[in-house]
Chain A
């Protein structure tokens, strides 16, 4: 079983810090080796709190060192032309092993509405580029629903931090929209994986740790010893994330 974490961040946060912060990609790599995590989707904190122009560049530089890491860039409304325009973005992503976009409307101060992000969302659907949406970044579940109602084929990797346990909110997204995946970072309910898989199968769940704010090993242990088939465990641990990347068309 290969663990491919869909939710790892690092960097220097000027505003706050976890108890034991992880500042560099080398530290991320060392901790992944300690835990036995083979691959990860990583995000630099600066992409939100210092802006995409800064954080995205730092991340691209870091990724040159480790080919088991895949990056996520923050995006902004294209109207202000502060980051590569959608038309140029795919080339930059391919060059820098970037496999998705993250919306940070709270820090970047924009409305994450379909009409604001139309060109990005059309591109995302066309090329099956996942949007990593974390509700703590300033987009509510209602906001996510609005985006998906406008673009129902959008690939969304959803991390919700508002309520635990949260199946009453999250399961309808999975039932309604074919390409919504749940990051397990906050989905740690007893029997939660078993119950979900019985109802919806294993293809819509992704191992995420939220490292460095949580331990890698907590959700790894939960998945490895869930009462589901080995095949389903492998899909959740890493197979589903791998498939999402494979079907992208850059």
Chain B
């Protein structure tokens, strides 16, 4: 455990020393782009102002969650791969540390950074909500954050597993695909045509349910009634969170993360490390 912690701390520090400022600066810019106008917005209609501001809080949290996931994907893919290409791995693995411990350390280090990024976003968004007088639904926030944590663990696990056994570019590309493929796979699996259905079913087993954002509606104010009340009625209703479904998705993502990571560890433990 000590060695895993040491490697994780080393990975975390390495990210902080070089990339953290870029990730966090990007997140703050994105947050300001999505929520900035709302901070300064005021209207004669207080209901409309509250609606805009609540949307801004949800959007800001969503942006931070996406940045945290992007960090998990790209940093994890490069994590072990960079140790191999820069050969820093040789003096680490020449010590009494098992390869799986090294990989778990990398997984934890990247996930920790990703969650720290999310944490900063949460603090900033909570401060913004307090400043704007918008209340955050804690139940929704909890499940949304848990989904992000599971997503970060999934992508970091897959990225580290692939990055340790393939190239950094391939690992990043496949991990990014994991964001976009699950919805397509669901559609394929539901398609009755055999050429679509069976590959869809097969892929459905191979792929996790993927990340789903539950941040929309985390802060809510009813929108002002439009001139035509029948227009876009769904836009005026707070999104419903199906908690059991969300929990199942969360656990399934964590399960897939563990399986992918375990498979990556097994390959990494058996592979030759050709360090030139």
Determine if chain A interacts with chain B: no
- Using a CB–CB cutoff of 8 Å, the interface residues on chain A facing chain B are none
B interface residues, Cβ below 8 angstroms from A: none
